[in-house]
Amino acid sequence: MQNPGDALKKALLAALITFGLSFPIVALRTDTNLSNQLVLTERWSLAFTLSGIAFVAFLLLGLVRPAGDERATPKTARSAAPPHPFTRYLPRIGLAFLIAYPFLAVAISGSAGAVKWIDNFGIQILIYILLGWGLNIVVGLAGLLDLGYVAFYAVGAYSSALLAKNFDLSFWLTLPLAGILAAFWGLLVGLPVLRLRGDYLAIVTLAFAEIVRLVLINWVPVTGGYAGISGIPRPTIFGYSFMPGPDNIATALGLPASPLYRLFFLFYLALVLALAAYWVTTRLRTLPIGRAWEALREDEIACRSLGINTVTTKLSALAAGAFFGGIAGAFFSTRQGFISPESFTFMESAVIVAIVVLGGLGSMVGVAIAAIVMIGGTELLRELDVLKAVFGGEFDPAQYRMLLFGLAMVVLMVLRPKGLVATREPTVRLKPKVARGAPAAE
Amino acid sequence: MDYFVQQLINGLTLGSIYGLIAIGYTMVYGIIGMVNFAHGDVFMLAAFIALILFLMLTQLLGVGSLGLALIVVLVLGMALTSLWGWVIERLAYRPLRGSFRLAPLISAIGMSIFLSNFVQVVQGPRNKTMEPLLSNVLVLPIGNGSVTLAEKQLLIMAVTAALLAGLWYVVKHTSLGRAQRACEQDRKMAALVGVNVDRTISLTFIMGAALASVAGLLWMTYYGVVSFNDGFVPGVKAFTAAVLGGIGSLPGAVLGGLLIGLIETFWSAYFTIDYKDVAAFSILAIVLIFLPSGLLGRPDVEKV
Amino acid sequence: MRWISDPLLTVDHLSMRFGGLVAINDLSFSVGRGDITALIGPNGAGKTTVFNCITGFYKPTSGRLALTHGTGAPAGAIDALTRSDLRRTRGANPELFLLERMPDHEISAQARVARTFQNIRLFPGMTVLENLIVAQHKTLMRASGLSLAGLFGLASYRAAERKAFELARAWLNVVGLADRADDPAGDLPYGAQRRLEIARAMCTNPVLLCLDEPAAGLNNRESAELTRLLRGIRSQTGVSILLIEHDMSVVMDISDHVVVIEYGVKIADGTANDVKNDPKVIAAYLGVDDEEVAAAGGGVP
């Protein structure tokens, strides 16, 4: 318990500060009137309400929290305790759930209602998981801060779209090509800048992503500029397509027409791609190259003293990460059938970095959880019509989507600076952890 | 010739604004080694605050004198933006001090997303256009032509120069400046010899925000338009400027800002406006490859 | 006097300047094959700078660092290599290396010089065992066919990995850390971290092991253990050891050869006994640290 007087004082101060922050940005709203002039609308009550909320919140917090606790950020000591048994089975439970997911969606919300759950939630989240796992190699394992990951996503999306449209290549060919091209660009960006220290690498990758976006916008004859590329061929299986038409797979099999077949196909394709990324990454982690990535993250100078060529090691991490970014891009373009520079802004890079760091650097399961929480959570906001009832008809929850996303990033980071899954699973053990556990040396 | 000088004037004006924002990045980086990603959005917020305060003074309170209004906006805007800077540091960064390297950066990116969307929610998504201010121009004869120097350009350069002189004095000759330099060198040691590290870092954020506030006001007077997503691009360019000049170096930030402003203006004037940002970013990459510590930065001696 | 009859490493006229500061000035000495050589000197004498030059972290301003992988190099072979613009003799027996021409990772991987650091540099988040496996990167990387063979679990790679694993286990036993193998290296107590760093360096299979203040921060009992450990390592593997050390009892106890530098210049060079009684050495230490002189001078205050 804190001294109530102190708590009151703090709450008053918080209210005062909140008012200072709200004035004038909240209290006075700028609007354009009919004669195209800016005029102010006064909303003092809103500013007072916010201050009041701050007052009450701080008062309650001050009364509940023990005194002197204010700066007691939990020291996240490296916990020697073994991870909760649940986390060990989490991948398997998660996989079972993912495989069943489209059927569950149809079973629960019917074939019409399931579209949204499979497409907006399932496929969307899987794309971000794939991107997160790709970037996890670069940021999580190798410790290289790449703020321009979206560039490789864009390279993958545009190259697969252009190859498919201009050279009539099948999706099954453009998919690996997109990955390879993105990896090639990863090498190209990495080569000159890898000598730079960490934060510079961040800014150069960010600048590279902006350059890619600006080129996509301005190189109109090839990329279509702001209008983007539409009519990207959809993937087919043995010549059958999932789009309405004579070669539609459902028609051929004599099934009733439904958009669900396409979504099921895309969902499982995304799942397979994500699982491939998972398999390759977990495999690489136990190989010398993967161990060198992690060693690089831990101490670059020590790496050099052990004969590890840090330049090629970093390049391999960048290229491997970029490869999965390119694959995700190719999938994205064929899923949408349309791409434009709008989808490849810095915000995407920020979201992917956030997923990797919030998940817990290097933790594959953590990254997947973070993708589900952050992407699923913000998608869910679109759905909350309940809020409309609470805040009145004008309230549009979607408007608050990114605001809450940003806030969640800050809050999660402050509460769990090491990410959701902070424990690191060793790549090799001298003694098996439990009698019938994973093999000691993979 | 006159075209060249005209572009020079325009480039220096823009560069002054970038330089003011860049100082915020470079000071924070110097003292806690963190890229304050939200700083560009603090600048955008400051431009909004300046715009609203100006409208409040002229429309609601009926202040007739433009000079008085601008001075009040400048002072009040600096105070309010500083408050934002202080609160952001307190809530989003301070709890992460001593945490691993990426944690504060992610928090800053989150804060950046929050700020731009916050402004969008409370002020609406549309561009805010203000009637032009100080649009008188001086015509200067140059060779056999002439160039125009707008009053506002003069104001921007003068205000920037005055602020830099003030900042230089603070950093070099006051106890705050000494404390800042001490924290830059060794935070633990500074704390041991009695420097209040938390307070020094807070004040650094406040100074950065105050300068961003001036940049926001100058931006509003120069362009007369701002929108909620105007924090990102100027922010990235200012950060580029800070890196170009050598991050951690105050004169470097200003030099970098001026260079970025000039590169952008000249590229637009002589080549194509479409690729002006590509030019700025490419030059950053090239400079970093050949001068890894920036133009005026201290070389990075590797401690083994 | 193996450092004269059979030198492993010959440092010739080494100089290192940082801007105007001369850290090492025209330094020459040799490290004998199979010897334990100590590089000592007051604080700031330039000892770590010598290490950084030998291990490639710094490019020397001038001078030659020649390493041979065996005895019986023909006279003048080093000079011949120096005149060429090559870094090493390929295929010659014994092989010669000019370290000042090689990047740091090649010095470790090809010339087989390993090192530890003054302020321990382990991979703290990785386990003790992983630290030792990472040290065998070069061998495993070759066996894994740049990871492709490893990706698909080929038998040849699995065999190489098993061997790496056994080597790591053997070294864990030597340094007495087998029971902590699966703990993060950062969780070990200080003395154990020092031992692990030495084991990790040995896992690279070096011919020359450079230890930067291995006894720093250890108590007397631990220092004595360290001395035993280093002697054991040398007698088991035949590796030559070059160490920087401030603890004179350790230096005098285990060194076959002591090189003393001050302000980047060599002031004495010889056996522990020769150096201990050298008036120049006593003078150099007198101005700095009484305790160390007491140790070096055999108890004379």
Question: Which amino acid is present at B222?
Answer: Y
pLDDT tens digits along C171-184: 999 999 999 999 99
Residue C217 counted as domain residue: no
Cα-atom radius of gyration of chain B, to the nearest Å? 19
What does the mean pLDDT of chain A come to? 83
Contact status of C48 with chain B (Cβ, < 8 Å) = yes
Nearest-CB residue to A24 (from B56, B126, B130): B56
* Strand, coil or helix: C300: coil
Can you tell me the distance from the alpha carbon of A425 to that of A363, in angstroms, rounded to the nearest whole number?
Answer: 8
pLDDT value at position C232?
Answer: 93
Examine the domain organization and report whether C106 and C124 are in the same domain.
no
Can you tell me the distance from the alpha carbon of C113 to that of A306, in angstroms, rounded to the nearest whole number?
Answer: 9
Do B121 and A403 make contact, defined as CB atoms within 8 angstroms?
A: yes
Report the pLDDT averaged over residues C60-65: 93
Look up the ipTM and state it.
Answer: 0.88
Rounded to 10 degrees, the C-alpha dihedral A146/A150/A156/A161 comes to -170
Contact status of A301 with chain C (Cβ, < 8 Å) = yes
Preferred mutation among A306, A323, A424, A434 to probe C, highest tally of C CBs within 10 A? A306
pLDDT value at position C148?
Answer: 67
Examine the domain organization and report whether C71 and C134 are in the same domain.
no
B to C CB pairs, distance under 8 Å: 7
Q: Which domain holds residue C10?
A: 1-111+240-301
Do B304 and C117 make contact, defined as CB atoms within 8 angstroms?
A: yes
Percent of chain A clearing pLDDT 90 (strictly above): 31
Looking at chain B, which residue has its C-alpha nearest residue A399?
A: B121
Residues 148-187 of B with CB under 8 A from A: none
The distance of Cα C211 from the centroid of its chain, to the nearest Å, equals: 4
* Strand, coil or helix: B21: helix
Question: Which amino acid is present at A23?
Answer: F
Q: How confident is the model at residue A7 (pLDDT cuts 50, 70, 90)?
A: confident
Examine the domain organization and report whether C294 and C149 are in the same domain.
no
Examine the domain organization and report whether C101 and C123 are in the same domain.
no
Report the pLDDT averaged over residues A268-276: 93
CB C205 within 8 A of CB C170: no
Report the pLDDT averaged over residues C7-25: 90
B302 contacts on C by Cβ (under 8 Å): 57
Contact status of A299 with chain C (Cβ, < 8 Å) = yes
**Which residues in chain B show pLDDT less than 50?**
none
Contact status of A310 with chain C (Cβ, < 8 Å) = yes
Measured in angstroms, the CA of B269 and the nearest CA of chain A are apart by 17
Can you tell me the distance from the alpha carbon of C294 to that of C301, in angstroms, rounded to the nearest whole number?
Answer: 6
Please report which residue ranges of A286-359 form alpha helices under DSSP H. 288-298, 300-305, 310-336, 346-359
Question: Which amino acid is present at B241?
Answer: A
Contact status of B49 with chain A (Cβ, < 8 Å) = yes
pLDDT value at position C291?
Answer: 54
Residue C264 counted as domain residue: yes
**For tokens 């860049």, what's the residue?**
B22
C57 contacts on B by Cβ (under 8 Å): 302, 304
Do A280 and C169 make contact, defined as CB atoms within 8 angstroms?
A: no
- Report whether pLDDT(A35) > 90: no
pLDDT value at position A180?
Answer: 96
Can you tell me the distance from the alpha carbon of C50 to that of C264, in angstroms, rounded to the nearest whole number?
Answer: 9
**For tokens 């809020």, what's the residue?**
A387
**For tokens 């009539």, what's the residue?**
A168
pLDDT value at position A439?
Answer: 44
Examine the domain organization and report whether C105 and C8 are in the same domain.
yes
Q: How far separated are the first and last CA of chain C, in Å rounded?
A: 30
Contact status of C52 with chain B (Cβ, < 8 Å) = yes
- Report whether pLDDT(A279) > 80: yes
Do C187 and A292 make contact, defined as CB atoms within 8 angstroms?
A: no
pLDDT value at position B51?
Answer: 93
pLDDT value at position B182?
Answer: 87
Report the pLDDT averaged over residues A170-199: 86
* Strand, coil or helix: A133: helix
Do C57 and B301 make contact, defined as CB atoms within 8 angstroms?
A: no
Residue C231 counted as domain residue: no
* Residue with more model confidence, A85 or A21: A21
- Report whether pLDDT(C289) > 60: no
Token pair recorded at residue B43: 């600048």
pLDDT value at position A70?
Answer: 45
Residue from A351, A341, A338 nearest A378 by CA = A351
Token pair recorded at residue B73: 């906006």
Contact status of B301 with chain A (Cβ, < 8 Å) = no
Examine the domain organization and report whether C30 and C73 are in the same domain.
yes
pLDDT value at position B229?
Answer: 87
Domain ranges in chain B are 2-132+142-290
Q: Which helix (H) or strand (E) holds A34?
A: none
- Report whether pLDDT(C124) > 90: yes
Do B302 and C117 make contact, defined as CB atoms within 8 angstroms?
A: no
Q: Which helix (H) or strand (E) holds B144?
A: none
Report the pLDDT averaged over residues C99-103: 92
pLDDT value at position A138?
Answer: 93
**CA within 13 Å, CB half, A361:** 21
pLDDT value at position A39?
Answer: 84
Percent of chain A clearing pLDDT 70 (strictly above): 86
Residue from A378, A379, A367 nearest A408 by CA = A378
Can you tell me the distance from the alpha carbon of C230 to that of B142, in angstroms, rounded to the nearest whole number?
Answer: 79
Examine the domain organization and report whether C147 and C105 are in the same domain.
no
Can you tell me the distance from the alpha carbon of B110 to that of A410, in angstroms, rounded to the nearest whole number?
Answer: 5
Out of A243-257, A403-417, B120-134, pick the least confident: A243-257
- Report whether pLDDT(A377) > 70: yes
Q: How confident is the model at residue A382 (pLDDT cuts 50, 70, 90)?
A: confident
Residue C244 counted as domain residue: yes
Examine the domain organization and report whether C54 and C72 are in the same domain.
yes
Q: Which residues contact A101 (CB under 8 A, 6 or more apart)?
A: A118, A122, A267
pLDDT tens digits along A303-347: 999 999 999 999 999 999 999 999 999 999 999 889 999 999 988
Number of separate domains in chain C:
2
pLDDT value at position A435?
Answer: 40
pLDDT value at position B20?
Answer: 94
Contact status of B288 with chain A (Cβ, < 8 Å) = yes
Looking at chain B, which residue has its C-alpha nearest residue A202?
A: B35
Contact status of B300 with chain C (Cβ, < 8 Å) = no
- Report whether pLDDT(A80) > 70: no
Residue C229 counted as domain residue: no
Examine the domain organization and report whether C3 and C103 are in the same domain.
yes
pLDDT tens digits along B233-252: 899 899 889 988 888 888 99
A to C CB pairs, distance under 8 Å: 129
Residue C216 counted as domain residue: no
What is the CATH classification number for the domain harbouring C181? Answer: 3.40.50.300
Right CATH for B2-132+142-290 from 2.40.30, 1.20.1440, 1.10.3470, 1.10.20: 1.10.3470
Cα-atom radius of gyration of chain C, to the nearest Å? 20
Contact status of B193 with chain C (Cβ, < 8 Å) = no
A to B CB pairs, distance under 8 Å: 188
Contact status of B136 with chain A (Cβ, < 8 Å) = no
Examine the domain organization and report whether C86 and C125 are in the same domain.
no
Residues 261-300 of A with CB under 8 A from B: none
Residue C23 counted as domain residue: yes
Looking at chain A, which residue has its C-alpha nearest residue C140?
A: A288
Looking at chain A, which residue has its C-alpha nearest residue C136?
A: A306
Residue C235 counted as domain residue: no
